[in-house]
Every structure is written in C-alpha cells, then in structure tokens.
Amino acid sequence: MIRSTGLQFQYPQGPLLHFPDVEVKQGSVLLLSGPSGCGKSTWLALAAALVAPGAGELVVAGQALHALNGAVADAWRARTLGFLPQRLHLSEALTVFQNLAMAQWASGRPQDRVAIQTALEALGVSDLAHRRPAQLSGGQAQRVALARAVLMQPQVLLADEPTASLDDEAAADAVQLLLQTAARQHATLVIATHDARVARLIPPDAQGQPGFETLRLVRPAMAGGVA
C-alpha cells in the first residue's frame, strides 16, 4: 500500500513541488501520470526513500519513509521495492542469469539459483539465462529486467515509463506483463508514465470501475507563483 498526505519537496533553487494526496491499497495499481518536468521522477525518488520529503507524510508498504535514511533506507529498499527502469540497465558484462544474481548481491542476500530460475521462468525467459543482454530483443530484455525487479518478491513494484518507445502492440504486451507479474506477487504496482495509452490498457475491475488509482501531476507554477 501507498499513502501520502500533504507531500512536498523542493530541490535547492528549484520550485516547490506539491503532490496530491493518494491512497493505494496493497495489490492495486497506481498510474503516475503527467507531462515531463511535473515531478514524476521526484515522486518515485520519494517513494523509494532516495530523498526525504520536505513536508507531509508518505507511507509505503506500511513504512513511514521520513524516518528512513542512509543504510536503513537501502535495506528497506532492498526488502520492499522492485524497480523497472526505463532504460533497462542490464549489465553487458554479465549474462542474464548473472544480472539477476547481481541484484541478489546488491540487496545483500545470499545467491539463490532457484529463485533466479523461477523468476526467469515466470516471465518465459529462462532459456535465455546464459545470453548477454546484447543478444536479447527489446521485449526479451524488458522481461529479463522485470524478472530482476520482482526477483526479491517486493511489495511495491515501480515501473518507470515502461511503454516509452514501444509500438502499440508491444506497449499492450508490456502493460499486461506488468499487471500479471504484480498480481502474481500481490505487489502494489506504480507505473510512472506520460503515455496516455497506458490508462486504456489497464482493464476495469469487476464493478466496472477503472482498475487503477490515478495520481495526475501538473507542472508547478514558476517560482513566486503560489504563496
């Protein structure tokens, strides 16, 4: 779950960013949308405990984030968060398998070959385990990166622009894959995107309501605007 109230953040010499309040139940989807420069990255950074909020409260997976910093935040992130970056950042020095093993190492866990194999199988890329990222197609690479993101069975999965530079068909596949993967883990899925297609690709729930919460951000007024 994710809950924010009165969340604010300001970069040095930057505009003060106000974020609308949001409440997302565990296992549901949050669509973080808005034009570039509206603060999507900042919101993700706040949700990942990479920066501390200037004001307000942000609770992610039951943890109030303003209380976290340094090594504690790193450990919390390792435990709780999965992340699918826009550029997938699979290391070319390592095979697919080793890329996932490195994620385990980064999070400070012992190597678990079975978990890696399972994660790759769940995304249908286990037969690519010994390839280098350069030998993968775009779709395969995204699956591998997603396998890495959910390898540690996170409670929250952050996806940053997962459909950027994908054609309609591939974008649909990517969103379906994200939804399925998050659902399988009962993880809260946050999709940060400025791509209007994403909202249409998320199916409504049983009651016919939209299957996601929305957090629509707007570009802040220039400095001196709102007092």
Binding site for another protein (CB under 8 A): 36, 41, 44-45, 48, 50-51, 71, 74-79, 81, 83, 85-87, 89, 91-94, 98, 101-103, 105-108, 111, 152, 160-161
Q: How far is the CB of 185 from another protein (least distance, A)?
A: 16
Q: Among residues 48, 73, 57, 45, which one has the least CA distance to residue 8?
A: 57
Give the three-class secondary structure for 128.
helix
93 vs 227, which CB is nearer to another protein?
Answer: 93
Closer of 71 and 114 to another protein (Cβ): 71
Nearest residue to 31 (alpha-carbon basis) of 226, 196, 214: 214
Which two three-digit tokens encode residue 77?
């992130």
Residues 114 and 154: their CA atoms lie apart, in Å, by: 17
Min separation Cβ 85 and another protein, Å: 6
CA torsion sign, 18 to 20 to 23 to 28? negative
Q: Which is nearer to another protein, 107 or 140 (CB)?
A: 107
Q: Which residue has the tokens 């996932």?
A: 100
Nearer to another protein, 21 or 105 (CB): 105
Nearest-approach distance from CB 52 to another protein, in angstroms:
13
